Amino acid sequence: MNERRHTVRRIPALLALVVAIAAAGFVDHSFHRPKVTVQAASGSAALAAPANALSSTWYCAGGTSAQGGGADVDVAVANAGTTARSGTITFIPDQGQPKSVPVKVAAASRAVFRAQDVVKAPFVAATVELDGGATAAEVHVTGPLGDSATTCASAASDHWYFAEGATTKDATETLLLFNPFPEDAIVDLSFASEDGQSAPQGLQGLAVRGRGLQAVNVGDFVHRRQQVSTEVSTRVGRVVVSRLLSFDGTAGRKGQSLALGAPALSKTWYFPEGIVTNGITERYQLYNPGQREIRAQLGLALEQGSAEPIEVTVPAQSRVTVTANDQQRIPRQVAHAVTVTADDPGLVAERSIDAASPAPRTGFSSIFGATSLHDRWLFAIGEASDTWDEWIVVQNPGTRAVTFSVTALAGGQRLGIEALQDVSVEPGERKAVRLGEHIKRVDLPVTVEATGPVTVERDLYRAKGLALMMAIGTPLT
């Protein structure tokens, strides 16, 4: 009887405790934690907010911000809207305190912000916060091993994947783990190489401080491997992860590539650009982090003729490399697009290209394909000049013909580029246009608008020097 009476007396106290905990949780989530947008499982980390959105945020990770750093960062912010956008850009170093500067981007314009003008640190990331949508941000790195660029993320995620990677003597692979939120994040990293799976103890339960950046040299944990694929998962919080991969030229490849990771697995990956010719090596890395094998095919869209798809099987927790140069069905010097289609939505696909003499361009690039189709795309970085050769490549995987138009955001004016209006692309084909044949501008952000869903890639090559700046655009909604 006494035991029952004590139990009854405890009920109000327990109820009060439950209510207090629930209320505390509500207050914490509602007032102290910024809302984390988790990207839908589409494999894409960049999606522009609508023009009528009240705000937009971009997370850019990153590169170096110190004298002689090797991959010095600047961030380009483009505004495709009809009104100016204002806000802040906060540079977050891996050593030291974040610093913010104001941002104002006029309509139909872009602004560029150099990290070294704000902070000095071995590595740096950035958060761009604006008072409206129809914007895109890209991060550009430059150094002795060339130039590279990638989109900034519009959302954080609890998973990130990379198919490409290497830690050979000539290679340096750095993962940039960026936590833009106030609370610490806890992450685990695992790798798949030619020697199988590994989860180094030093990379389990790794803390990434709130509003902080953690740089991980993969070679310190996975030694001298030619094939390194990566999975990053969080136990607590959400992060944004980019990979900086460079080759010093002592074993053939030379250049550097910055790539934002894939926040989700996908069944389909679109790659608009491809060519097999002397001096250019084109590879497709297919990574399966799951527990069972996946069958996939690489569908080929040739500018001239046709070819049967390439069939592959990717074992569980492994990577398969398909080298286009070794495929007899791909004719040399015929441009092509590739669509990777799997029988299971559990694949990650990257395309790597390294170019050297006698090719007309030199450098290294590795990018993820697009995983969805859109009719409007935005590129913040662009230049058509004697220094830079810029191309726009449109892939139409659909069943009907579409047309597309390229518009320059020319310092406040929307300038339809002559001869690049209503360009036709037949179903299942791709079309590449060279902007320098139609316009000359150092400051050249562009939009690409199509009459149907397509995938669009921008490729920038230095006239002299190392640079393969290849990237899928940011979809405009």
Domain that includes residue 107, residue range: 56-151
> Is 288 domain-assigned?
no
168/247 Cα distance (integer angstroms)? 9
**Number of domains observed in the structure of the chain:** 2
| Last residue within a domain, chosen from 151, 168, 195 | 151
> Is 355 domain-assigned?
no
| Last residue within a domain, chosen from 260, 288, 305 | 260
> Is 367 domain-assigned?
no
Q: Which two tokens stand for residue 95?
A: 């050593």
Candidate from 39-53, 108-122, 226-240, 302-316 with smallest mean pLDDT: 39-53
* Residue 29 in this model has a pLDDT that exceeds 60: no
Report cis status (omega within 30 of 0) of the bond before 358.
yes
**Tens digit of each residue's pLDDT (9 = 90 or more) over 257-306:** 999 999 999 999 999 999 999 999 999 999 999 999 999 999 999 999 99
> Is 47 domain-assigned?
no
CATH number reported for the structural domain that contains residue 177 in this entry: 2.60.290.11
Pair 125, 180 in one domain: no
> Is 442 domain-assigned?
no
Pair 178, 209 in one domain: yes
| Residue 363 C-alpha from the chain's centroid | 18
Q: Which two tokens stand for residue 349?
A: 């696909």
**Tens digit of each residue's pLDDT (9 = 90 or more) over 228-246:** 999 999 999 999 999 999 9
* Mean pLDDT value across the chain: 92
**Tens digit of each residue's pLDDT (9 = 90 or more) over 386-414:** 999 999 999 999 999 999 999 999 999 99
More confident residue, 436 or 13: 436
The answer to whether 60 and 74 have CB atoms below 8 angstroms apart is: no
| Residue 208 C-alpha from the chain's centroid | 20
Shortest CA distance to 233 belongs to which of 328, 138, 162? 162
210/179 Cα distance (integer angstroms)? 6
Shortest CA distance to 230 belongs to which of 330, 162, 280, 281? 162
Q: Which two tokens stand for residue 278?
A: 């002397």
Residue 23 has φ and ψ, to the nearest 5°, of -65, -40
DSSP code at position 250: T
> Is 387 domain-assigned?
no
> Is 457 domain-assigned?
no
| Last residue within a domain, chosen from 260, 275, 310 | 260
This prediction has a pTM of: 0.90
**Tens digit of each residue's pLDDT (9 = 90 or more) over 137-176:** 999 999 999 999 999 999 999 999 999 999 999 999 999 9
> Is 244 domain-assigned?
yes
3-state helix, strand, coil in the chain (%, to 5): 10, 55, 35
Residue 8 makes CB contacts below 8 A (sequence gap 6+) with: none
Pair 247, 207 in one domain: yes
The answer to whether 274 and 338 have CB atoms below 8 angstroms apart is: yes
Pair 164, 144 in one domain: no
The answer to whether 258 and 337 have CB atoms below 8 angstroms apart is: no
